[in-house]
A and B are shown apart, each in its own frame.
Chain A
Amino acid sequence: MLSSLLILCAVGAILCLILKESLVKWWALSVSLLLTLLVFAGLFWFDFSKAESFQLIESYSIIKELGVSLRLGVDGFSYLMLILTVLTSTASILWSLGDYQVSKRQREYYFWLLMTELGLIGVFSSLDLIVFYVFYELTLVPMFFVIGIWGYSNKVYSATKFFIYIFVSSLFLLLGISALAISHLSQKGYYSFSYQELMSLRLEPGFELFVFLLFLIAFAVKTPLVPFHTWLPDAHGDAPTAGSVLLAAVLLKMGTYALLRFNVVLFPQITTAFVPIMVLWGILSITLSAWFTISQTNIKRFVAYSSISHMGFVVSAMFMLNSVGIKASITEMFAHGLTSAGFFMMAGFIYSRLSTFDLSMSKGSAIKMPVFAILVGMIAFSSMGLPGGSSFWGKFLTILSASQYTTNLAILVLIASFFSAVYVLYLVKNLYLDSKKEADLKDITGPLLYGMALMSIPTILVGLLPSLFFVFYDSYSKYVISYLFKLAGGG
């Protein structure tokens, strides 16, 4: 089933280049809808009682001698990310239908969007590290073109910066993957890039630290953690709305997904030793970027910085290494995917009405547009962590998991989440409470409305019915912790 998703997406993307310019967007939308449908249909074959183990496994050998093969498979965690991917892609294509910014060169545009989706589906469903790496990089070129061609103001600079940051950092990942395969060769006698086989490796601490750091460089830039975040505000700020949506909602999740999947699980000794560093780094990242956020005047950069802040929660919760923490981390990933997508749509919509991203120019603009105001409200309060919104569970569980260590840590997280509430409130105040004489603005309609609703309604769903989502990764988070402590206890 997973390979059919990939093939459908690839064929759909290539056909975009051939079809008539006016038809392309509908074609892209239908491909994306079909993918969404397939992913949801796949849930029938997914066994939730064994959500921590990989299912729907397929394997095709690519280079037998080096042990590279196209191994596909999903567990509950990656399935959830897959759902996020197809939802966000559909929403961003829907949004693009009504976005003036991307009305030129439509064939290429939808080709690149579908290529991004292909890369993302591949990333979340590959069980082979080289294949993972291929898909990880595959999202890079499309995004480079999307930002560089259809972006705003300083687009070429931002696109290049984005590409070089991610490309160089992921070369370290490639070296790390090679190092793992080589140690598999020296321990077991043959090359392997298979995730499950590499899990059984036992490395000596010095070497494990080295490879851990190689992986960490790649994912700390991708996630991003302060101070490796400087590519993000530029890339997100200058990308067209759909590009920002995909970047923030799913591309950043590749970093945290890989941190949990690879760094935590493959290097248990180092991970347990790194707990204090990573947790504090995460909290530092939350706090610093929350401050950066408040000082922004450009709405898109504002939202971009807020993303960094949220990713800090994901990282620090993940490295608290208890099952609540892992659960918090995954919840926050999903929640942030929805809210950041919604925020970027908000920014794009404000631009479409006011032709500016300036925060001070958009004062009180929500008042004139009730439907838009409701959607933004849902997203904003979800993002802030208000009960009933999606991020509530992420933040609540993070604090809960921190309190399992010490109360002081929990208080630290609490302070950090206070900062992240401040900027959302500031944004809301700006849009709702400030007033400015303004000509009548037309409310959100058409594809823009559907796209934005597709992102904002699930936030409430996560907030009110979290158990619907916990099924995916409840057992996985317990499994990771028991796995880690079995190994750490043994060694």
Chain B
Amino acid sequence: MQEFIKIEIPNFVLLLPELIVLLTGFFIFTLDILLKRVSHLIAISVSSAGYIASIIVLLLIYGHRGETLYGLYVRDGLSTIFQIFMVFLTLILLSVFYPYFKTRSSLYPEFYYILSFSLAGAMFLVSSYNLVVLYVAIEAVSIGFYILTALLRGSFESKEGALKYLILGGLSIALASYGAGFMYLHSGSLDLRHIFLYGQSDALIIGLLFFMVGFAIKLGAVPFHFWLPDAYQGAPTPITAFMASVGKIAFFAPILRMIPLVQGDILREWILAVSTVSGLTMIYGNLIALNQKDVKRLLAYSSIANTGYVLAGISTASMIGFKASSFFLLAYAIMSFMSFAIIALLERFKDFKTEIETLLGLRNISPAYASFLALSLISLLGVPPTVGFVAKALIFLSLAESRLWYLAIVMIVATGISAGYYLKLISKMFMFEPRFSSNVKPSMSESLTLSLLGLLVVLLGILPILLFGPVSQSVEAIFSR
């Protein structure tokens, strides 16, 4: 048995990155109230400063491992890497956000602190094993998402998406907490690491089932995906980028952390259930994406499909599967962020709607946007030398190691289907003449942002060790514990 209450002083060094982000949020919140309306310049600079500070701290404490708050909070390599990616992408989001909302006259300062709170919740979500902390963190992330989705003034779709997301989000958290109750019943513990120590029981199976279904709704895995396309399409595009990258990382993290724990009796059920959902998700997402007329909706379905690929790695419940799906998740975050961000930037120009047809001949209108969008799509498709290829190859490797041949074949078929719509977008941009001529040029900061992301996509494709090395190390550390 564990020792009972022992007064512990929280190790604030481990918590510092989250605290900085949280305080950034509170600071802007206070400023907003004190100054009546905080100006965007101040809000952006305060947020950027906070995020940059957080990234610096994260890099400095990269080697630190440990637990604090009585084991409620765990800092390990994986959480640090995930957090670096999340804060980095949110930082970049700021440069996309402002021009987008300015053209739609929906600039609210609330955005900045809600974003920070949501990010802080996401950061807690990737670094805990405790069911209650997970619950609170999920709510913190999700409530931010609901508000951010509804942020577009006068847009019906935005409200509709937010409402759907809210209702299904509520359902998901209810299911997950119900499942958590069963898991507590099984083991008498709220710590995931302890729950699986007590063999197998019906309570555990039922609990795990509900818990996973709750997360499956959040992740948009088939058949729990119905809210996702509406929310992704209705939300302001920068927020979609945020949800599809930071949100995905955050909601996947607890499931990833369960991989080393489900070994033993429960493994067979895990593989069966997760691989079934994974196969369904990738086939369904890609099939429906083929027929979409709206780029955002298409990318939303592609996001569903990519959830399926990550789940394929998770279904193996092996070490290489853990590494592969973590790598895939991070790669997907970059790629999807990049594609949504470019759509967001394009939407500023009045000739561009989000319909696919407006992308016609984009290469002639704006070579930079077209090339970067094509790069992100090629990477999403998984063609070398991009990071998307490395990610997919790792998933294949893990499937081969677990001898899940049928899932691998399903994944080949799904990827083949996905080629249809990614290529459609690329050929629309590059192989047709534009219908109108407008002057669309990325500003200095935008091209810097996009080049940075593009460079990441290619660099991590050529030298994957830069990301795979740290991921692999921290996963091994988790396994050896």
Contacts and interface: CB of A to CB of B under 8 A. Distances in A.
B423 A160 contact: yes
A179 B412 CA distance: 14
B434 interface: no
B423 A164 contact: yes
B468 interface: yes
Contact of B419 (A65, A134, A164, A175): A164
Contacts of A62: 463-465
A265 B27 CA distance: 67
Contact of B465 (A63, A144, A156): A63
B442 interface: no
Contacts of A168: 412-413, 415-416, 419
Contact of B401 (A144, A160, A167, A185): A185
B423 A144 contact: yes
B397 A148 contact: no
B412 A171 contact: yes
B427 A140 contact: no
Interface in A170-229: 171-172, 174-175, 178-179, 181-182, 185, 210
Given A156-B431, A179-B400, A167 B416 contact: yes
A79 to B, nearest CB: 24
Given A137-B389, A141-B383, A168-B415, A160 B397 contact: no
Given A63-B464, A155-B431, A138 B393 contact: no
A149 B430 contact: yes
Given A145-B430, A160-B427, A163-B423, A178 B465 contact: no
Contact of A174 (B396, B401, B464): B396
Interface in A136-170: 137-138, 140-141, 144-145, 148-149, 155-156, 159-160, 163-164, 167-168
B384 A156 contact: no
A174 B468 CA distance: 19
B412 A175 contact: yes
Nearest to B413: A168
Nearest to B408: A175
Nearest to A150: B431
B385 interface: yes
Contact of B393 (A160, A167, A174): A174
B416 A159 contact: no
A159 B431 contact: yes
A211 B211 CA distance: 38
B369 to A, nearest CB: 15
A164 B416 contact: yes
Contacts of A156: 427, 431-432
B458 to A, nearest CB: 11
B170 interface: no
A182 B423 contact: no
Nearest to A207: B403
A63 B389 CA distance: 14
Contacts, number: 87
Contacts of B384: 133-134, 137-138
Contacts of B464: 62-63
Contacts of A172: 412
A134 B389 contact: yes
Contacts of A185: 401
Contacts of B392: 174
A66 interface: yes
Interface in B348-400: 378, 381, 383-385, 389, 392-393, 396-397, 399-400
A185 B408 CA distance: 19
A64 B473 CA distance: 12
Contact of A178 (B383, B400, B463, B468): B400
A63 B464 CA distance: 7
A260 B419 CA distance: 29
B420 interface: yes
A130 interface: yes
B474 interface: no
A175 B400 contact: yes
B472 interface: yes
A142 to B, nearest CB: 11
Interface string B467-481: 011001000000000
Contacts of A145: 430
A447 B409 CA distance: 47
A95 to B, nearest CB: 22
Contacts of B415: 167-168, 171
Nearest to A137: B384
A137 B416 CA distance: 14
B401 A182 contact: yes
A138 B408 CA distance: 22
Nearest to B462: A62
Nearest to A185: B401
B397 A178 contact: yes
Contacts of B424: 160
Contacts of A181: 397, 400
Contacts of A182: 397, 400-401
Contact of A167 (B383, B397, B413, B427): B383
A65 B416 contact: no
Contact of A175 (B383, B396, B416, B469): B396
Given A137-B384, A178-B397, A167 B419 contact: yes
A185 B427 CA distance: 41
A172 B416 CA distance: 11
Interface string A49-90: 000000000000011111000000000000000000000000
A62 B465 CA distance: 7
Contacts of A141: 378, 383
Nearest to B390: A63
A153 to B, nearest CB: 13
A155 B423 CA distance: 13
Contacts of B432: 156
Given A149-B431, A168-B412, A171-B415, A65 B472 contact: yes
Interface in B422-481: 423-424, 426-427, 430-432, 463-465, 468-469, 472
A63 B468 contact: yes
A163 B374 CA distance: 15
B335 to A, nearest CB: 16
Contacts of A140: 383
A190 to B, nearest CB: 13
Interface string A235-249: 000000000000000
A168 B414 CA distance: 10
B419 A148 contact: no
A148 B383 contact: no
Nearest to A130: B393
A133 B415 CA distance: 16
Contact of A163 (B385, B399, B419, B468): B419
Nearest to A159: B427
Contacts of B469: 63, 65
A148 B431 contact: yes
Given A171-B412, A175-B408, A148 B430 contact: yes
Contacts of B427: 148, 156, 159-160
7 shortest interchain CB distances as A-B pairs: A168-B416, A178-B400, A134-B384, A148-B431, A171-B412, A178-B397, A178-B396
23 contacts: A62-B465, A133-B393, A134-B389, A137-B389, A138-B384, A141-B378, A145-B430, A148-B427, A155-B431, A160-B423, A164-B416, A167-B383, A167-B415, A168-B416, A174-B392, A174-B396, A175-B396, A175-B399, A175-B408, A178-B393, A182-B401, A185-B401, A210-B405
Given A65-B468, A65-B472, A138-B384, 12 more contacts: A65-B469, A141-B378, A156-B427, A160-B424, A163-B419, A164-B416, A164-B419, A167-B383, A167-B419, A174-B393, A175-B399, A182-B401
